[in-house]
Amino acid sequence: MTSHFYEPANGHGLAHNPFKAIVGPRPIGWISSRDSQGQLNLAPYSFFNAFADTPPIIGFASAGYKDSVRNIEQTGEFCWHLATRTLGEAMNQSAATVEPSVDEFDLASLTPAASKVVGVPHVQEAQVVFECRLSQCLRLTSAAGEAMDNWLVLGEVVGVHIDTALIDDGVYQTAAARPILRGGGPGDYFEISDEARFEMRRPS
């Protein structure tokens, strides 16, 4: 194998930065939040994942101190939505760079629905929703200890909504909702399918 090696601090030497294309496909953290005045906000974050399951903790990272981070620090609450093929366009519209006073639910023609545990409304059209309480908001640092303008928001999942159409015999069907995942170039997404599924058990 011939390897293309680079040190990111000195540039990647390729036509396009491969970093995000390599760490992919990534699930999308489609996040609703509200500021202390009650202004609603919705935005996607693909630096997103789950980090613990008991209690369940999810997190997303913001490049810059964006509205979602500020809102969640103000209220301590947010909701996460599964971004699916049918909601893809709406999810993308909610990424528009707009003034904090603009409600991305309106922008993307989505319906805010009251949540059960937290005060932040969620997207009614989403088939899976996590209601979350902020557990930590961390400002990232480089290996040299320099503060970066990147923020990791972690939240405990305190309420879960699942469309029962996605549950078969008590088992949640991962591919059935057609989740969309980010990867590849700037506009590239991936879907998953049951045909692509394979099984591999852990060694005992």
Binding of residue 115 to ligand FMN (CB under 6 A):
no
In whole angstroms, the minimum distance from the beta carbon of 95 to ligand FMN comes to 4
Residue number with CB closer to ligand FMN (118 or 180): 180
Q: Does the footprint of ligand FMN cover residue 28 (CB under 6 A)?
A: yes
Stretch that binds ligand FMN, among 3-11, 38-46, 116-124, 126-134 (CB under 6 A): 38-46
Q: Residue 196, exposed/middle/buried by CB under 10 A (0-12, 13-18, 19+)?
A: exposed
Residue among 21, 27, 66, 140 that touches ligand FMN (CB under 6 A): 66
Is residue 75 within the footprint of ligand FMN (CB under 6 A)?
Answer: no
Q: Does 190 bind ligand FMN (CB under 6 A)?
A: no
Q: Does 41 sit near ligand FMN (CB under 6 A)?
A: yes
60 close to 31: Cβ distance less than 8 angstroms: yes
Number of CB atoms found within 10 A of residue 84's CB: 23
Of 25, 32, 58, 62, the residue at the interface with ligand FMN (CB under 6 A) is: 62
Whole-number minimum distance, CB 21 to ligand FMN, in Å? 14
The single residue among 21, 24, 35, 47 that binds ligand FMN, judged by CB under 6 A, is 47
Stretch of residues binding ligand FMN (CB under 6 A), selected from 61-69, 113-121, 132-140, 158-166: 61-69
CB of 43 to ligand FMN, least distance (A): 3
